[in-house]
Amino acid sequence: MFSLSVDKVAESQQNLKATLRRKFSHILEGQATETNKISLNNIYTELYVTEGGSGEVNKEHEVRQIETTPRIHVGQEKSIHCDHLFAPLPERGCDIRTVVTRGVAGIGKTVLTNKFTLDWAEERANENLEFVFPLSFRELNLMKKKNFSLVELLVVLFPEIKDIEIFTNVKKNMLFILDGLDESRLSLDFNRCEILSDVTQTTTIAVLMTNLIRGRLLPMALVWITSRPVASSQIPANCVDLVTEVRGFNNLQKDEYFRRKISDVNLANRVIAHVKTCRSLHIMCHIPIFCWMAATVFEKNMATKESNDTPKTLTQMYIHFLSLCEEAMKKRLTGRRESNADCVRANLLALGKLAFQELEKGHLIFNESDLKLNGIDTEQASMFSGVYTQIFHEEMTVCKEKMFCFVHLSVQEFFAALYVFLTFHNDNVNVLVKLSASRRFLSRPSELILYKEAVEKALRSEKGDFDMFLRFLLGLSLESNQTLLKHLMVNNRTQQKTRTEIVKHIKEKIRSNPSPDRCLNLFHCLNELNDHSLVEEIQSYLSSGSLNRANLSPAQWATLVFVLLTSEEEHSTFELGNYTRSEEGLLRLLPVVKTAQVANLNACNLTLTCCENLANAISSSQLRELDLSNNNLTDVGLMKLSSGLRNSKVETLRLRSCSLTERSSNDLASFVSSASCLLKLLDLSDNEFHDLGVRRFSDGLRSSDCKLETLNLSLCSVGEEGCIFLASALNSCHLRELDMSYNHPGNSGLNLLTALKEDPQCSLVKLSMDQCGEFRIQPGPKKYTIKLTLDPNTAHKDLSLSEENKKATRWTKQPYPDHPERFDFWPQVLCREGLTGRYYWEAEWTGRVFIGVAYKRIPRKGETDDCWLGRNNSSWGLNCNKDGYKALHKGTGIPITTKPNSNKVGVFLDWSAGMLSFYMLSCGSLKLLHTFHTTFDEPVYPGFHLGWVDSKVYLC
């Protein structure tokens, strides 16, 4: 009996494989028909799929998401082959049952699952699976009013398994593919859905799918769900074991696709070369369906004529694609009474009307009734092969209703724009403005108002639903594009004056500071209108290197973002200081930060004000490394940041000298111990954590979910007690490197931490305990003491350096070689160290000496005040001689009443707070002489001016 069951299962399995081979071995691509379908194995190009999705779902327009894809670097993503989705890898720590694969429309999710199914059916891969059941939500939608048990549903869809009692004889190694969750019209309620575990119990399709995904129904079965990003968020995180993302084609895969699609090798190479010269086209070719469109258009265009009118913009591409569709329509219209041109125009308008009205409703899939409402019958729909995809074939026995959609959302947006454009030019009707019939008859509509209203419509949409529509509509206004459409237009074309006015209007909108995403789209609109003036202005700033000192307007900031995001160069590291050192600059440039792998925001005058916006950007970014050191963030700022960090991909976080205290330690402990936290390196140096903060933070280190490998607590006022708590936590964590320098561990703390480093059972392999002592935990600036050295390359030739470059004396000329950084007139010298945190140093002076700091950019050649320390806006300091002290900046001296009774001066720098303080040392105590309050915009270098011969300065 058992043998009979096994034989039946094997027979049913082979029958199912045969059915799936027939169903998935060929695909209908574009204008292909049932008689000339294309082999999936021949055309299939491997897709770039990555493991792990961003913590938060990206709700931007999907074309906008694709436009950031080129800036996502292959090295920062872990790719995964679909055959390995359910492999039990050790780093995942658990078996994989449910996988969600995200991807924008047209990126290749369905083809990916079809290829997976075909490979199984052809016994090329995944032989460990006994059964694979590919289900489509499009198909399930049409059955939502019927009730089935899971057994009944599968028998209806896969009759091959009818007689084998599948759930009795096959209990594992069964895969359900649920394709297109974003197209589901089922009510999937994961919170209140009834619990169902019986595969023979009848219920709704929605309840079956909800329980299957949750794992209440067939908990041992594997489930693979595909979806567009936003829709995938409806599945609770605890129901998903692995999230993957289809990135589409990377650059090599694009080339491979074109070579597979275009048989003429020389022509394929010409097409590839052309696409690479057109940034917007090359970006869109990440989408496989767009690659197909481009290959179809370019193969025809570049094979038959010179490349004078070869498409270079998106609008031109879609117009050429439209012309190919028109040719196919005309062939099918041969023999009709009415003019082919009139019939094509009428059909395109009907198609455009459908596209526009359904776009306004947010609908991407339509049924026959939607078509009829817009004047399209089912027979007409067959003319639109290549524009429409017929979702269900008539031979479907369960569902008799047909459904339709455009091959890609951008195609629907183009046809919507074409409808609005032709309706205006041919019928004098502005469909974007709601007018009464009488007003519409009396007034001739203004074309400028049409475009302005389209701009407003796009700006009003928070998710960018009309961004591409606007780009296409404005692109259609170009004379060169209207020449291609002349057979569809019956009235006058757009005047140059109108185009000039709409360019002016768009620039005004950019200056009004809309949201970053809407602003970026306005620049794409200017690109479609061939206006590059704003971009050229910013590029001149960039090439001159003067951008970080320029006072940019909102429009210029927006232009900079556009230039950086559309640059052909792939900048994996974003350096805010290259452009600005301000919060305004960071907030303006957040769209660029989100696309970088490394963001260096060190010493950029940031405060808690920007933290909430930065957190939102981090949570949906590609960042792996973030440096926020030397910014006055405070505990409140870190609290705001923590939510974004918790859901991010950040592995390295630097928070040196960010005005944090022990009040931040609970947030940090919670963050590093969360399962979603990927952090491996954390730099908390130069913050006031004290023993209490380290004690609280140690609780996070003990968590089994903590992945930290490197921790820097240098200069954090940590004493013996804190080190003891830290040592106890290290026994159970993965930490390999620990920096406790510039603290006071005491004998017990030092011994415990040192013993852990020697313990083979402990992960710790590197321990830094330099420059420790009791004074490191005392209040006052001395705990920030740093050892400085004079830089011989900057020393004037009258200055003699000695005692390992700790002492300078003004005396006779020295045989120093010429150097571009050497002062050639004023007797001055700078230190090697550029400082941006909190630091304290002491200098002993003799004679007349200026003690201060300067930017590295201070000129070195000549006798002007620009080169003289204290006489310009690049240096600050204190003049010292036996008669008294004088604070000096920009040449303005501030006399100090305190008389020198010591020749030692202490200097304390708090860079992020913009404070530079000078103290007189007397009998071991510090007496404040003067404090400068400013905003530093780059690292400062300690420096000295020796005014008299035989003057000396010594770094203590």
Identify residue 373 by its one-letter amino acid code. L
911 located within any domain: yes
CA distance 300 to 328: 13
Mean pLDDT of 687-710: 92
- CB-based contact 764:756 (threshold 8 Å): yes
Q: Which residue has the tokens 């009235």?
A: 491
pLDDT in tens, 548-567: 667 788 888 888 888 888 77
**What confidence score (pLDDT) does residue 306 get?**
60
Mean pLDDT of 845-870: 96
561 located within any domain: no
**What confidence score (pLDDT) does residue 373 get?**
82
Q: Is the pLDDT of residue 348 over 60?
A: yes
Question: Do 33 and 180 share a domain, yes or no?
Answer: yes
Point out the least confidently predicted range of 31-40, 396-405, 444-453. 396-405
Q: Which residue has the tokens 């089922």?
A: 186
Residue 367: which pLDDT band, with cuts at 50, 70 and 90? Answer: confident
Tokens of 711: 């921790």
Phi and psi of 384, rounded to 5°?
-90, 25
Strands 940-946 and 849-855, bridge-based pairing: antiparallel
- DSSP letter at 781 equals G
Identify residue 312 by its one-letter amino acid code. K
Decide: helix, strand or coil at residue 694: helix
**What confidence score (pLDDT) does residue 436 get?**
46
* 144 vs 176, more confident: 176
CA distance 767 to 709: 12
**What confidence score (pLDDT) does residue 860 get?**
96
Burial class from Cβ neighbours inside 10 Å (0-12, 13-18, 19+) for residue 571 reads: middle
Mean pLDDT of 71-88: 69
Q: Is the pLDDT of residue 641 over 90?
A: yes
Domain boundary among 312, 342, 364: 312
Mean pLDDT of 747-765: 87
Residue 438: which pLDDT band, with cuts at 50, 70 and 90? Answer: very low
pLDDT in tens, 391-415: 323 334 345 566 777 878 888 999 9
Q: Which residue has the tokens 């050892």?
A: 787
* Residue-by-residue DSSP string for 186-249: S---TTTPPP---TT--EEHHHHHHHHHHTSSSTTSEEEEEE-HHHHTTS-GGG-SEEEEEEE-
Tokens of 332: 């099918």
User: What CATH code is carried by the domain that includes residue 743?
Assistant: 3.80.10.10
Which helix (H) or strand (E) segment is 10 a member of? helix 2-24
Q: How far is CA 355 from the centre of its chain?
A: 30
Mean pLDDT of 318-339: 73
Question: Do 720 and 676 share a domain, yes or no?
Answer: yes
CA atoms within 13 A on the CB side of 780: 16
* 343 vs 77, more confident: 343
Decide: helix, strand or coil at residue 926: strand
Q: Is the pLDDT of residue 840 over 70?
A: yes
Residue 208: which pLDDT band, with cuts at 50, 70 and 90? Answer: very high
* 493 vs 771, more confident: 771
Which helix (H) or strand (E) segment is 175 a member of? strand 174-179
User: What CATH code is carried by the domain that includes residue 115?
Assistant: 3.40.50.300
Question: Do 354 and 370 share a domain, yes or no?
Answer: yes
604 located within any domain: no
**What confidence score (pLDDT) does residue 101 get?**
93
78 located within any domain: yes
Tokens of 492: 């006058």
CA distance 689 to 692: 7
**What confidence score (pLDDT) does residue 282 get?**
87
Domain boundary among 730, 747, 771: 771
- CB-based contact 386:407 (threshold 8 Å): yes
Question: Do 334 and 304 share a domain, yes or no?
Answer: no
**What confidence score (pLDDT) does residue 114 get?**
92
* 873 vs 363, more confident: 873
| 131-136 β-sheet, strand order | 48-51, 242-248, 98-102, 222-227, 174-179, 131-136
**What confidence score (pLDDT) does residue 558 get?**
86
Residue 826: which pLDDT band, with cuts at 50, 70 and 90? Answer: very high
Q: Is the pLDDT of residue 185 over 80?
A: yes
Tokens of 660: 């944090």
891 located within any domain: yes
Question: Do 294 and 213 share a domain, yes or no?
Answer: no
Decide: helix, strand or coil at residue 867: helix
608 located within any domain: no
Point out the least confidently predicted range of 378-382, 605-609, 718-722. 378-382
Domain count, the chain: 5
Q: How far is CA 952 from the centre of its chain?
A: 54
In DSSP terms, 248 is beta-bridged to: 48
pLDDT in tens, 232-260: 888 998 899 989 988 888 888 899 989 98
Mean pLDDT of 874-898: 94
CA distance 87 to 94: 10
Identify residue 54 by its one-letter amino acid code. S
User: What CATH code is carried by the domain that includes residue 882?
Assistant: 2.60.120.920
Question: Do 42 and 111 share a domain, yes or no?
Answer: yes
Point out the least confidently predicted range of 165-169, 653-657, 658-662. 165-169
CA distance 266 to 299: 11
Phi and psi of 808, rounded to 5°?
-125, 135
**What confidence score (pLDDT) does residue 344 get?**
77
Question: Do 838 and 920 share a domain, yes or no?
Answer: yes
Q: How many Cβ atoms sit within 10 Å of the Cβ of residue 39?
A: 10
CA distance 221 to 96: 10
pLDDT in tens, 588-618: 899 899 889 999 998 888 999 999 999 999 9
Domain extent at residue 113: 2-248
- CB-based contact 955:806 (threshold 8 Å): yes
Report helix angle 314-333 to 409-427, nearest 10. 80
Phi and psi of 546, rounded to 5°?
-100, 10
**What confidence score (pLDDT) does residue 719 get?**
94
Question: Do 202 and 130 share a domain, yes or no?
Answer: yes
Question: Do 746 and 863 share a domain, yes or no?
Answer: no
CA atoms within 13 A on the CB side of 5: 8
Residues of the chain with pLDDT > 90: what percent?
Answer: 46
List all residues 6 or more positions away from 289 whose beta carbon is below 8 Å from its beta carbon: 106, 108, 407, 408
Domain boundary among 214, 248, 282: 248
Mean pLDDT of 329-346: 68
User: Between the CA of residue 924 and those of 341, 738, 807, 920, what are the distances in Å?
Assistant: 97, 33, 22, 10
List all residues 6 or more positions away from 492 whose beta carbon is below 8 Å from its beta carbon: 425
CA distance 745 to 751: 9
List all residues 6 or more positions away from 339 whose beta carbon is below 8 Å from its beta carbon: none
**What confidence score (pLDDT) does residue 783 get?**
87
- CB-based contact 419:395 (threshold 8 Å): no
Tokens of 659: 């005005």
The size of the chain, in residues, is 956
357 located within any domain: yes
**What confidence score (pLDDT) does residue 381 get?**
58
Question: Do 100 and 192 share a domain, yes or no?
Answer: yes
Query: What is the b/e burial string over 363-377, where b = at least 16 CB atoms within 10 angstroms of the residue's CB?
Result: ebbbeeebbeebebe
431 located within any domain: yes
Phi and psi of 505, rounded to 5°?
-65, -40
Mean pLDDT of 134-157: 90
In DSSP terms, 38 is beta-bridged to: 27
Which helix (H) or strand (E) segment is 150 a member of? helix 150-157
Secondary structure of 555-605 as H, E, C letters: HHHHHHHHHHHCCCCCCCEEEHHHCCCCHHHHHHCHHHHCCCCEEECCCCC
Question: Do 486 and 374 share a domain, yes or no?
Answer: yes
Helices (H) and strands (E) in the chain, counts: 34, 34
Q: Which residue has the tokens 């740093």?
A: 786
Residue 541: which pLDDT band, with cuts at 50, 70 and 90? Answer: confident
- CB-based contact 179:111 (threshold 8 Å): no
pLDDT in tens, 453-476: 999 999 998 778 899 999 999 999
Question: Do 135 and 205 share a domain, yes or no?
Answer: yes
User: Between the CA of residue 65 and those of 57, 72, 283, 359, 420, what are the distances in Å?
Assistant: 11, 11, 10, 19, 26
